[in-house]
Amino acid sequence: MAKRDRLSGNEAVAIALRQINPDVFPAFPITPSTEIPQYFASFAANGEVDTEFIPVESEHSSMSAAIGASAAGARALTATSSCGLAYMWEELYIAASNRLPLALALVNRALSGPININCDHSDSMGARDSGWIQVYAENNQEAYDNMVQAFRISEHNDVRLPIMICQDGFITSHAVENIELLEDEEVKGFVGAYEPENYLLNPECPMAVGPYSVTDYYMEAKRNQAEGTRHVERVMLEVAEEFEKLSGRAYGLFEAYRLEDADRAVVMIGSAAGTTKDAIDKLREKGEKVGLLKIRLFRPFPADAIAEALKNVKAVAVMDRAEGYTNQGGPLGADVMSALFRARSSALAVNIVYGLGGRDVRVEDMEQVFAELKTIIDNNDAGETYRYMGVRE
């Protein structure tokens, strides 16, 4: 029985965590994710959860402690943003290579410098090759729903990898929206108990974790780890199907919005997708065939499915809320273009960097992007494939 509530994205994620009632939650505050551990600390203080909440002295330590807790046999997670995630960088790789299914509630924020507290995706994009599963949300509802599904994906025996549940700083983390919550018991039943086979606190059999590996083993270890990644798409869809039965809300690897017959498409991640949908609705009223592919699963990258969904479009704008400093664009652009190339797509594609450090994205901006795509089709030439949107020049 769902109940409606008006919640910020941070509150929604914190409530999901209360309902999950994890075993260990180490955390260190950083804007804009601070509220998540703050809300959670009050749940712990009031006995609404029996989690061990550990207010550590840094983000490096919050991830280190989460790794220790997860290896010990606990369901563990932490939350962070921006420089906090950058500070954890080394630990992200260790969590993934140890095959520890812990979670991270990430509230996306620009990386320094200059220091900036607003949204872009440079933090999580920096961690894209760490071996973590990365799932993104457009709005508060999705942030909540993704958090509820997180442990089911990461703890699955075929996966056993850490998972990052991302939402846009301030835009969703602090904005209040009407969302539907599941009942506590429903979440508890859906998430289930965590029962690892090997763990440090197993009284039956000791375990050693974190070896030194000589060259003779290292490459095989990395290939072995990649095998977990290969199962993520399937498991994520299975979990989504079960979640839909429970909640009535459908999820896939991405959302295709009015894409079926579109000749022009935008591919993007996060909250600006909502703005883009508004632009699409306006343009559709005028008879323009425009659509959106909104990424939900970014790591691993569902390249085949994305290329398939884009197979009929003539022009694509891939929107990156992060610079890649490759002189080619951003990371999403590189991945989508590579997916199109592998699928022998003939679509003309450009990569547009936008929204850095919280720069606003307006409906008109997205209408302009679709107009540019029209020009590209008309000229049968993508022109400059590495562009900026919303920068003064």
Partner 1 sequence: MAYNFKETMNKPERLAPGHRMCAGCGGTIAVRNVLRGLHEGDKAVIGNATGCLEVSTFTYPYTSWEDSYIHNAFENAGATMSGVEGAYKALKRKGKLSENFKFITFGGDGGTYDIGFQSLSGAMERNHDMVYVCYDNGAYMNTGIQRSSATPMYADTTTTPVGSQSDGKPQNRKDLAAIIAAHDVPYVAQTTFIQNFKDLHIKSEKAIYTPGAAFLNIMAPCPRGWRYNTPDIMEICKLAVETCYWPLFEVVEGKWILNYEPKSKKPIEDFLKPQGRFKHLFKKENEYLLEAFQKEVDRRWEELLFRCSGTVNR
Partner 2 sequence: MAADISKLGLRTKWQDLTEGMVIAGAGTSRDFLTGEWSSVKPEFIEEKCKQCLLCVPVCPDSCIPVKDQKRAEFDYDHCKGCGICVKACPFGAITMEGVN
Q: CA-to-CA distance for 148 and 187, rounded, in angstroms?
A: 7
Under rule CB under 8 A, residue 24 binds partner 1: yes
Q: Which residue has the tokens 């949300």?
A: 137
Under rule CB under 8 A, residue 100 binds partner 2: yes
245 binds, among partner 1, partner 2, none (CB under 5 to 8 A by kind): none
Under rule CB under 8 A, residue 197 binds partner 1: no
CB of 211 to partner 2, least distance (A): 5
Cβ atoms of 181 and 2 closer than 8 Å: yes
All residues at 6 or more sequence positions from 364 whose CB lies less than 8 Å from its CB, including other chains: 279
User: Which DSSP string do the residues of 150-162 spell out, in sequence order?
Assistant: HHHHHTSTTT---
Under rule CB under 8 A, residue 91 binds partner 1: yes
Under rule CB under 8 A, residue 220 binds partner 2: yes
Residue choice 115, 176, 221, 250 for contact with partner 2 (CB under 8 A): 221
CB of 204 to partner 1, least distance (A): 10
Find, among 144, 205, 202, the residue nearest to 4 by Cα.
Answer: 144
Q: SS3 for 358?
A: helix
CB of 30 to partner 1, least distance (A): 16
Q: CA-to-CA distance for 161 and 31, rounded, in angstroms?
A: 26
30 binds, among partner 1, partner 2, none (CB under 5 to 8 A by kind): none
Under rule CB under 8 A, residue 1 binds partner 1: no
Under rule CB under 8 A, residue 9 binds partner 1: no
By C-beta, is 1 or 214 nearer to partner 1? Answer: 214
Binding window for partner 1 (CB under 8 A); candidates: 197-205, 340-348, 354-362, 376-384: 197-205
Q: CA-to-CA distance for 133 and 112, rounded, in angstroms?
A: 24
Phi/psi at 72 (5° precision): -70, -15
Q: Which residue has the tokens 């703005």?
A: 275
Q: CA-to-CA distance for 306 and 339, rounded, in angstroms?
A: 7
Cβ atoms of 41 and 53 closer than 8 Å: yes
What single-letter amino acid sits at 94? I
Per CB under 8 A, which of residues 175..214 are in contact with partner 2?
197-198, 205-211, 213
Per CB under 8 A, which of residues 28..87 are in contact with partner 1?
50-52, 54-58, 60-62, 64-74, 76
By C-beta, is 26 or 291 nearer to partner 1? Answer: 26
Q: Which parts of this chain interact with partner 2 (CB under 8 A)?
A: 97-100, 160, 197-198, 205-211, 213, 216-217, 219-221, 223-225, 227-228
